[in-house]
Structure 1
């Protein structure tokens, strides 16, 4: 900073000095002519008074004063000739001095031109440095604006993060509610499965008289849970139905066989009755046969009584089975009544699930839907129609599945938008960091290169001007000491240095001119000695040096103040850099937090999708179970109706069998009376064969009559055998 204070610029001889030397020569010529006229004044050198005005032409330069002091005044007679020769010699000396002054003037002019070129280069570089400083300030302002925008975006991202946390809490709450609903539905499914298992076990225990089934329900490799239980129940019901159908077929077969046997026995009874009638007609010869036949008839009657008792037992069994089927029907009706509240609860839970998923869709779209009234109509319980209720349940589950698909799509779109925003923020932050680093490197490189060039040019110009000054040491040390600071303080210091050097150059020029003028004013008289001028000039130079020392001390104080300002500016820049580093760390933490939040959101979304799929499968399974239960209920209703019809038919057949048994008893009693009458008449008409017309007996008229009686008895026996069917 103190380089311009050391510069010393030599002023070239001016045109006014040359005019002064010419005027002095004229005055000497005139004085010599006057001295030739008045010899009294030869030995003296007249001095002009100090208070008179001395024209510019009469002022002598320092060189002229020194040369004139060495000239001696002649004292001989030929003084005029000597004066002329002296004047000619003095003119010759003046020419040589003028030539030397012109040479020195040319040298000084070249040095001044070089100094001007150096000053122009310095000014140009100062303007470049100012332009770069303005560009750096504008870039810093842009960086500040972008940093404020980044902070705003950060606040927006924090707000989005809070909203995502709220959505996450809402999803967790919905998840807990779904888990509760799932547990309740699972408990209901378990109770339904237990009821199905106990019901089918009771049914199988009631049917165990026909066939013993294995313990437990049949297993299925295709279904699990409630569908597997329903599959086992349906399979066991099918087995029971098949066994009942087999028993019915066996009963019909035994009935047909009994009918055939009864018909055969009726034919045999008809034959036996015909034989009895033949024996009655034969009377005596067939008495033994009639006794045997009576015993046989008694046996047959006993067998018929036993068969009738067996039939009554079977009828009682049929009545018992009818009662059991009616009890089963009542149990089925009770089960249907028990399942009705379960289906109502299922419809309620499905409607709640639809409302919650609809709320999720509304939250993702930032709106509120009013479609609950239209959707609630699909979940209304109808007291009178079970099919409509099941159909409403199916429609509700379909609506829930469709709404779950829409909710999944909305959540996926929202997560994709959030990931895209995070990615855009990361790209913008990376671009800002790269731009900052690039600006810093460009400013440092430009400042270092231009500072070195400026110092080299300044040192070269000073060296050409005759001043040996090393500008690289202080400036290099200063540059290396402040290299790590920001470029703004260095550019300002360089600008201040260039301005101070220009001001000092201008002040030195004015000071040299003032010194020249003061020396001419002080030593302008012709009789001055050679020692007076250097002493006066040295005193003036000393005073000027003292003033320059004071100015230098003031400049050093200013330099210290500038260094303190630079230190404060560097500290402020370091603080800004630390703030930027803290902001970068905060952005990195925010980025990491957003990535973690996005990963957590994806995990929650996947878990929610898995739960939706599991709930969908469970709904499908429940739907299949309800369909199978509906089929089973229809089958049981049909079987109950068939059992009731069979019970009515059995009661009718029992009544018909009672009537036919009464008729059969009456017929047997009539036959016994006829046998008793025949026995009585046999004793009376044993020896009355003479009254019989033998041709009619030989012609077989009695046998023909007997056959007609047999046919009548056969028809009666057929009528009596019908109740046994």
Structure 2
């Protein structure tokens, strides 16, 4: 029973194994056309992959060439940009230089305008100086007239004082400095000034002499006046004495009642003594009226003695009156001399002051004229130097402007040529960029195709892997079934094997030849 059961179990197992083998063969038979289709697809994909690889290599070479060309174009563009920058910098430098030259030219023009303004100011100043010189000439003419009138007045004063014909001598004695560069009018004015100065000096000398003389005369007149006043006092005292003596004589006459001659002699002796005491004895001795009175008295009688006394008193009074008149006359002359002296002194002081003012004004005018002449000469020299500098700077600026314009034109031509070349390089660069973009697009399409092929290859690999795993599983199942059958056959001693599984079982883990052809292609794909 046990053997029967074991045999039944073995038969069931064999049947199950056979069923599994038949199922595996059926699945294998179903997988073969699919494997052939996959193999064909893999071959096609491999060919497409090779084609894509060759195209990708060619496109990579073209891309490398394009990149090299692009780098060269970029380098050339950079060089052109640097050249353009250099040209622009040089142009900017030339523009700056031209601007500086224009600024210098404007400065020179402003300096020229300033010089013109200064020249016009100098011309106005020179015209003002000419007008002032004309006014000064007129003033000099008036001063000359005043000096001539002063000269005439001084000459009259000097002539009145005592100098006669001083003008010729003064003209001969006046020295004129020839080193002074003066015209005829100034020489004449200077000559008149010196003549008036010399005339004033001579008038001053004469006036000083006249004043000394007048002082001496004044002293003499004062001395005489003092003596006359003393004589007047003496005469008054004598007259009083004479009156007293007259009274005494009258008393004696009344007492004596003598002859007229003795009476008159006594009176004359008394009057003579009185007058001699005072100093008028010469009058009594030289008067002709005394002789006539003697003759008359010698013939008159005694009754006329009183008349003689009255006539003697009248003569004394006349003498006193004459003395008073002479004294008043001398006083008036003294006052006139004093007034003349004061007037002459004030006139000489005024004339000396006017002469000093005129000489100082003339010196000041000469100094100002010399200074103005020096200033005019200096300004003329500065103007000539400024005009020469302006002309020289103008020529230099014109040359610099012309050179700058020529350089700017050359730089503009170079810049236009470089700009044209830059435009051409930009156009070529745009064309290269377009080609490069097109090639990049082609490369991107090739990469996309390659990625699609890689995806399909990966999908095929996954499918082949799945099939391989399935096949390995089936082979394992077959090996298990083969091992079981071998164990059963070894127990049963099976004589013949009806199935071709022995060939498959002879090699351990033997693979299907289609799969063996498939697997190397996969390895080659992985290696690629």
TM-score (norm 2): 0.38
Return the structure number with greater relative CO, CA threshold 8 A, min gap 6.
Answer: 2
**Greater gyration radius:** 2
The structure whose residues are more often helix, as a share, is 2
